[in-house]
Structure 1
Amino acid sequence: MPFETAIQTYFTGMRNEGLYGLLPIGLVLLSFATLLLLRGPRDTFTLWSGSGLGIVGLIGVVAGVGFAIHAGNHLPETLSSYAAHPSLMLQSEAERINSILRGSYGYYAFYGTLMVAAFILLFTARRDWSIGLALPLMAFAAMAFCMDIFIDNRTIAYQEAIAAAQPALPDR
């Protein structure tokens, strides 16, 4: 596969994760939070869970749109950089991709910590507010963990394409 195709696949995947993954999940969570807060009972559980789900939904919407915009802006820039100076572009992209993959373990640890904190709130505090806060924490951790798995898979494929393209290039 030509490296230009790998670049397009990488950034198209980023755009799709934003538009077809995070954005719809965020909109569903925002809708559910709105219904819960407007039509649900007026108690502590509803307030905490509705507010938390609304915040998580807003994060999903903003991140989804941000992914799509970033991918759309970065794709032509990366293609033109590759056409002008392939060796330099491959070296800088390899460094960027390696830093993304190194950082993913920290994100996984963070999401796991959020999930553990949610379970602690859910099963130890046993108050309406703690249960209402635990559910959005679980939703956020699960949404972010799933999206990061897709990101890592896409990034590993791109990293392999970079490694395959590097020895094939003459120096300019």
Structure 2
Amino acid sequence: MTAVQLGSLTWLPAADHPELLGEPVAAALPGLPGPAWVAAIDEEAADTAAFTDTYGVPLTASANCVVVAARRAGETTLAACLVLATTRADVNGLVRRHLGARKASFAPQDVAVAGSGMAYGGITPIGLPASWPVLVDAAVAAAELLVVGSGTRGSKLAVPGSVLAALPGAEVLEGLGQPVG
């Protein structure tokens, strides 16, 4: 694997460093359809704005994974939405319609953590339960390399957008990420 240079971090092959990953992420890595790198970070700098400021990784090279709870007829479906950090997920529009839900909203923190088995602020589409749809914005899928969570707040993953788009259960949607503003 070619070494990755993003910001001031030292990126290592993720498969060689399971101790830096959340358990579900480490378990999913062997099935990943491409490369992934991991870098240890300060847990206090895990949130996107603090991360980009602290480590000099451009906001345009980061993606956020948000967990959505979609409800219809008393049933709740959890799904993950992966959008560029410069955008926000269109939860009440595209996500709600795509999942056939009457109502969609961000999942409560405790539900997202319990359902994913990952730390809040470190949830990533890699290693999510197979029953969860993974909705990937087309701009994420087209990106050469993006920083995403690692299942913990103490590290980040760098993964090609094409690998994220090829995850089990992933569907690429045009317009999932909407401009912030």
> Does TM, scored on the shorter chain, surpass 0.5?
no
Greater Rg over alpha carbons, structure: 1
- Structure with more helix by fraction: 1
**TM, length-normalised to structure 2:** 0.24
**TM, length-normalised to structure 1:** 0.24
- Structure with more strand by fraction: 2
